[in-house]
Amino acid sequence: MENSKPKILIVDDKIENLIALETLLQDFDIDFIRALSGKEAIVKTSKYYFALIIMDVQMPEMDGFETVRRIKKDKKNKLIPIIFVSAVYSRDYYNIKGVEAGGVDFITKPLITNILTGKVRIFLDMYNHKVELENEIELRKKTQKELEEHREHLKLINKILRHDILNNLSVVISTLRLYKADHDESILENIKKSTEKSVELINRMRGIETAISSRKGLKPIDLNKVINKIIAAKPDVEFNIKGRAQVLADESISSLFDNIINNAVIHGKADKINITINRKQNKCEIRIADNGCSIPDNIKEKVFMEGFSFGKTGGSGLGLYIVKKIIDKYEGEILIEDNKPDGAIITISLQNIG
C-alpha cells in the first residue's frame, strides 16, 4: 500500500464535477482517485482497492450502470459500496437500475452537502471498521502461526535432548563396563567428555529456548567452528575439510552435524569423512562424503522419517529425523546420494551470509 488512507473513486465525464465533489468532501482524511469515463474507472478499480465509489450515471459511451456492472465482475470489487449520482431522476426507475447494477445508494444533482457527507461518512466508518477487523484477524493468524512454530521448535529441542543425551549416556555406560573389567583409569576420561558434552548441549538448547521466547530469529554461525569442535571428539576418524563459511542458523546446528557425522561413523562404519564447503551467492553448500556403508536406494527418503531405523546398528530412528527438522527450520535443503565405490554423500544447502 502506498499509504493507509481510504481511497474513494469519483467518476464523472466532467472535470468540474470531480473538482466539486472533492471540495465538498475535503474534510475527510481520504485519497481521491479520479476517472473521466467508465473505461477509466474500470482500469482504476483493477489498480486500487476503494472504500467507496461515487459514480455519475449519465456518461457517454458507457453509462454509470454498465460501468458498475463491469466493475462488479471482479471478485475483489464485489463488496465495494457504490453511490450513484444523477441530474435526471425518476426514483423507482433509477433505484431499480441502481440495485440491479450493484449500487447501494442514489443521490441527485445538485448535490446537497449534508446529505452527501452524511452518506460518505457512514460508508467510510463501515470501511474503517472492516479494515480494523481484517487487521485483527491477520494479527491473530500471525500470532497463531508463531505459537505453532514455537511449539514445533520446543518439540524439536526435546527430541534433540533425548536423543543426544541418551547417546552420551550410552558412552558413559560402556566406559564404566570397560573400567570394571580393566580398571584402566585413563578410559574414565570418556565419561568426563560425555558428561561435559551433555551439559554443553543442555546449555545450547537453553539458548534456543530463550531465543524462541524472545522471538529472536536466526543469527550468523561460523560453520567451521561448529564442525571442528565436533570432529575434535573423534580422533579415530580421518577428516578432511575444505572451504569456510558463515551460515544463518542457531545453536541446534551443532546437533545437525553431530548427528550426520555420528550416523556415518556408528551406523555407516566410516573412518574417513571429507567435508567440502562451497559458497554460491546467498547459498552455502556443505558436502559430507564418507567411506562407510552405502544407503540402499529404497530407503534414502525414509531415513529422515521419525522412528525409522535400518540394519543391525539401527538406532532410535531420531538422528537423521532431527537433522531434517533442523534444516527445515533453517529453510534449507538436504540430499543423500551414493559415494563411489563405498559410502554415502549428504549435501546440505543453507543460507550463506559471508
Are both 293 and 187 inside the same structural domain? no
Give the whole-angstrom CA distance, residue 103 versus residue 95: 9
Q: Residue 78 sits in a domain of what CATH number? A: 3.40.50.2300
Residue 127 lies in a domain: no
Q: 10 Å Cβ neighbour count for 168? A: 19
Give the whole-angstrom CA distance, residue 350 versus residue 249: 8
Are both 343 and 231 inside the same structural domain? yes
Are both 235 and 345 inside the same structural domain? yes
Which of 271, 195, 305, 202 is CA-nearest to residue 314? 305
Residue-by-residue DSSP string for 28-87:
S--EEEEESSHHHHHHHHHH---SEEEEES--SSS-HHHHHHHHTTSGGGTT--EEEEES
Task: Provide the 8-state DSSP code for 295.
Answer: P
Rounded (10°) angle between helices 38-47 and 64-71: 20
Instruction: Over range 119-136, report the average pLDDT.
Output: 90
pLDDT in tens, 23-50: 999 999 999 999 999 999 999 999 999 9
What's the domain range around 34?
7-111
Instruction: Over range 247-265, report the average pLDDT.
Output: 88
Are both 168 and 229 inside the same structural domain? no
Are both 191 and 248 inside the same structural domain? no
Lowest mean pLDDT among 24-28, 206-210, 259-263: 206-210
pLDDT band at 1 (very low <50, low <70, confident <90, very high): very low
Give the whole-angstrom CA distance, residue 63 versus residue 298: 67
Instruction: Over range 122-146, report the average pLDDT.
Output: 87
Cell of 171: 558412552
Average pLDDT for the chain:
83
Residue 349 lies in a domain: yes
Give the whole-angstrom CA distance, residue 104 versus residue 90: 16
pLDDT band at 111 (very low <50, low <70, confident <90, very high): confident
Go through 28-62 and write b for each residue having 16 or more CB atoms within 10 A of its CB, e for each that does not.
bebbbbbbbbbebbbebbeeeebbbbbbbbebeeb
Q: How many domains does the chain divide into? A: 3
Give the whole-angstrom CA distance, residue 48 versus residue 61: 23
Q: Are strands 7-11 and 31-35 parallel, antiparallel or unpaired?
A: parallel
Query: Does residue 89 register a pLDDT over 80?
Result: no
CA-to-CA dists, residue 271 to 9, 234, 348, angstroms? 73, 10, 21
End-to-end CA distance of the chain: 33
Residue 1 lies in a domain: no
pLDDT band at 158 (very low <50, low <70, confident <90, very high): confident
Are both 170 and 290 inside the same structural domain? no
> What pLDDT does 44 receive?
94
The C-alpha angle 40, 46, 52, rounded to 5 degrees, equals 80
Are both 174 and 43 inside the same structural domain? no
- Measured in residues, the chain has a length of 354
Higher pLDDT, 188 or 212: 188
